[in-house]
Structure 1
Amino acid sequence: MTVVGFHASHEQIPPRELLAAVQEAERVGFDAAMCSDHLAPWGLRQGESGFAWAWLGAALQATSLPFGVVTAPVQRLHPAVAAQAIATLAQMHPGRFWAALGSGEAMNEHVTGDAWPPKDVRDARLHEAADVIRRLLDGEEVTVDGHVRVHRARVWSRPAEAPPLFAAAVGPETAGEVAAWADGLITVAQEPDALRRVIAAYRDAGGRGPIAVQVHLSWAEDRDTALAIAHDQWRNGLVTAPESWDLEQPEDFDARTADASPEEVATVVQVSADPSEHLDRLAALVGLGFDRIYLHHVGTEQQGFLETFGEHVLPGLKAVSR
């Protein structure tokens, strides 16, 4: 059965309200939840960005859902600190936590004042950081002097079993590279052929574990409203990699998409007022080979989406077999 998760968007919703939303997501039938570890929102209209690690402690305690976080443990967050955070959450909530490691975006990382390196260097330091984190979770004392520098680090409070370390990847090249160390893969919805290439690159390189996809969607009682929500809140989705990796400020994303039309935004956000249309499009993703689907309603108000999808989308989507 497909795992259907709720994406908790720190960039759009204040932490207290987001905690209530994820509790409601569990009530209406979502199987799991995830969030991203960001310092800044993607645009000024979003206007939020709570600290994911603090929020995760509360969310794991307030629900019985398994949670994941997408994080970049390479610059703003040192890999030894990331390992300690991962270990603490996994020790407190056994079997309910995973982390997906990515190479990051300048928007979240530039604040350290360190140079934002080219993609090949970012990928190399991610590989090193993943190795450091895994070794720390296994109880080793770690010293490394490479792209990542670590001096005699050790994580003292650890879970009995180390949690899964997924990799975050958008394109097939990265998906193939991370297969060597990842326990699973998470990507974002895009054209079906592009998703097939990502899945194939990961599996062909020996990638193990589940493959998950995050889907940005907009629902309202009429399509015009759903389209307006998407245009107001998620036009940043039109800024794709590699450009999205290198912009530094929310204002940069706003400037880059200032002239975007609502229909253009609908090419990167799944927009519909019809739950059955959403179900069909999501079921098609399961058919591509995804084990887990995390739904991100891009509106700031979640209640109507949660109630509607809980009744009309989740039962059918969970029943779809790969």
Structure 2
Amino acid sequence: MAVSGQRSCALAGRLADLVIATEPKAELLDAFDRHGGQGKARVGQLPVCYDPDREAAVARAHDQFRWFGSGWKVNAELPHPDSFASATRFVRAGDVAASIPCGGDPADFVEAVRPYAEAGFTEIALVQIGGESQPAYLDWSEKTLLPALRDAFGGPDGR
């Protein structure tokens, strides 16, 4: 169950098999635990935009995900696609690049995951931006990103 505040954490702790959050806030996990979430999976969800051409990745992220920087509270109140367009019309490509790892340097992605690991998340869901880039992203992830993440945070082999 996705959470964003105390009420949703209380529901998730009681009812869900896991918790999902888009912000690396330890207080969300603490509230989840207080309401029965101890021992359940904790998933951090993070948008990413892989492309060997960093500028192309930033442009794609800006085009398709510029609303991400507004945060859950703002996005939850926007009723229509036109509202999203209005709310994000002043978001620059640099703003997006500051909040979403873009390009092909695995170190940028590792550093974006780090706050989730430090907050106590047990899993990370990386959401690749751009349908046409999925095959290249999956190949790069297998060969480059996943080994870098395992080196930094451990992995399924128990490290």
Q: Which TM-score applies when normalising by structure 2?
A: 0.81
Distance 1:285 1:184, change over 3 A: same
Q: Report the Cα distance in structure 2 between the residues aligned to 1:270 and 1:306, rounded to whole angstroms.
A: 16
Q: Which of 303, 306, 315 lines up with 2:135 in the alignment?
A: 303
Residue equivalent to 2:47: 216
Structure 2 residue identity aligned to 1:296: V
Instruction: Specify which structure has the higher proportion of helix.
Output: 2
Distance 1:174 1:250, change over 3 A: same
Residue equivalent to 2:35: 205
Q: Which of 171, 180, 196 lines up with 2:14 in the alignment?
A: 180
- % identical equivalent positions: 25
Does residue 265 (structure 1) correspond to residue 96 (structure 2)? The answer is yes
Maintained 8 Å contact 1:211/1:292: yes
Structure 2 residue identity aligned to 1:202: F
Does residue 315 (structure 1) correspond to residue 147 (structure 2)? The answer is yes
Task: Structure 1: state its 5+ residue gaps.
Answer: 1-166
Q: Report the Cα distance in structure 1 between the residues aligned to 2:108 and 2:97, rounded to whole angstroms.
A: 14
Once the 2 structures are TM-superposed, how far is the Cα of residue 272 of structure 1 from its aligned partner? Answer: 3.8
Q: Which of 54, 57, 72 lines up with 1:226 in the alignment?
A: 57
Three-state SS of the structure 2 residue aligned to 1:168 is: coil
Q: Report the Cα distance in structure 1 between the residues aligned to 2:53 and 2:74, rounded to whole angstroms.
A: 33
Q: CA RMSD for the aligned pairs? A: 2.3
Cα distance per residue 1:56-101 (max 9 Å; x no partner) = xxxxxxxxxxxxxxxxxxxxxxxxxxxxxxxxxxxxxxxxxxxxxx
Q: Report the Cα distance in structure 2 between the residues aligned to 1:169 and 1:300, rounded to whole angstroms.
A: 26
Three-state SS of the structure 2 residue aligned to 1:293 is: strand
Q: Which TM-score applies when normalising by structure 1?
A: 0.43
Structure 1 residue identity aligned to 2:16: A
Once the 2 structures are TM-superposed, how far is the Cα of residue 182 of structure 1 from its aligned partner? Answer: 1.9
Once the 2 structures are TM-superposed, how far is the Cα of residue 186 of structure 1 from its aligned partner? Answer: 1.0
Task: Structure 2: state its 5+ residue gaps.
Answer: none
Q: Report the Cα distance in structure 1 between the residues aligned to 2:97 and 2:10, rounded to whole angstroms.
A: 29
Residue equivalent to 1:171: 5
Q: Considering only CA atoms, is the larger Rg found in Structure 1 or Structure 2? A: 1
Once the 2 structures are TM-superposed, how far is the Cα of residue 271 of structure 1 from its aligned partner? Answer: 2.5
Cα distance per residue 1:156-192 (max 9 Å; x no partner) = xxxxxxxxxxx2102344213431222211111x3x4
The 5-angstrom pairing of residues 104-183 of structure 1 reads 167-183=1-17
Three-state SS of the structure 1 residue aligned to 2:71 is: coil
